[in-house]
């Protein structure tokens, strides 16, 4: 039986390889994700209106109402009038890219750790490359991709953007699967 400790190298390397691949997808291939993001035509006015309310960092919905108020005519009118949306506000100031990239790398390692954990319970020592690829790749795909679906279902992220996120996740899963298949203990 394979132990999780024996998988330290494929866990670490797949995290590194996925981190590199994600950097290429998000920084070099700007045509891939950049079209999914839009600015407001009246951004200065929108920023001023939000700033005027002095909201704390957090998640906000437009229009906002309690669940029991959803059937009231006033709430329904606000939804009909629009806009309807979900906004995430961060603390003011430049985003800390170093922290975000560090957390992303940790996330990549966590997905690799769990994919490896599933692998040790499904695969023997010396498992063939393709079988390792299938098991670990499926687990990694679930971790990297399926979390994108609720963004389309509940929060209104455009389905094209959800599909791109899932394709990214498939690429990351294939990299993870290939790394584990290559380095699976014999």
Classify residue 48: in a domain, yes or no.
no
The per-residue pLDDT for range 22-61, each reduced to its tens digit, is 999 998 998 888 899 899 999 999 999 999 999 999 999 9
Classify residue 83: in a domain, yes or no.
no
Domain count within the chain: 1
The residue segments making up the domain with residue 18 are: 4-42+95-183
Classify residue 47: in a domain, yes or no.
no
Q: Which of 167, 154, 113, 98 is nearest to 4 (CA)?
A: 113
Classify residue 73: in a domain, yes or no.
no
Instruction: Tell me, rounded to whole angstroms, the distance of Cα 154 from its chain centroid.
Output: 15
Tell me how many degrees the CA angle 48-53-56 measures, rounded to the nearest 5: 110
- pTM more than 0.85: yes
pLDDT tens over the chain, length 186 residues: 899 999 999 999 999 999 999 999 998 998 888 899 899 999 999 999 999 999 999 999 999 999 999 999 999 999 999 999 989 999 999 999 999 999 999 999 999 999 999 999 999 999 999 999 999 999 999 999 999 999 999 988 999 999 999 999 999 999 999 999 999 999
Q: How far apart are CA 126 and CA 84, in angstroms?
A: 54
Q: Which of 108, 86, 104 is nearest to 95 (CA)?
A: 104
Classify residue 108: in a domain, yes or no.
yes
Classify residue 179: in a domain, yes or no.
yes
- Are the CB atoms for 175 and 14 separated by under 8 Å? yes
């Amino acid at each position: 039986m394979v132990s999780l400790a024996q998988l330290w190298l494929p866990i670490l390397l797949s995290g590194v390889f996925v981190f590199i691949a994600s950097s290429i997808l998000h920084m070099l291939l700007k045509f891939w994700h950049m079209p999914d993001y839009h600015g407001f035509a009246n951004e200065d006015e929108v920023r001023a209106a939000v700033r005027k309310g002095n909201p704390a960092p957090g998640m906000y919905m437009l229009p906002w109402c309690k669940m029991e108020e959803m059937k009231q005519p006033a709430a329904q009118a606000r939804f009909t009038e629009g806009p309807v949306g979900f906004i995430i506000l961060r603390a003011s100031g430049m985003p800390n890219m170093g922290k975000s990239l560090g957390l992303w790398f940790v996330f990549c390692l966590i997905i690799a750790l769990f994919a490896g954990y599933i692998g040790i319970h499904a695969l023997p020592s010396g498992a063939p490359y393709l079988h390792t690829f299938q098991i670990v790749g499926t687990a990694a795909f679930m971790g990297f991709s399926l979390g994108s679906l609720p963004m389309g279902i509940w929060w209104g992220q455009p389905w094209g953007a959800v599909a791109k996120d899932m394709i990214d996740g498939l690429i990351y899963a294939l990299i993870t699967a290939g790394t584990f298949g290559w380095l699976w203990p014999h």
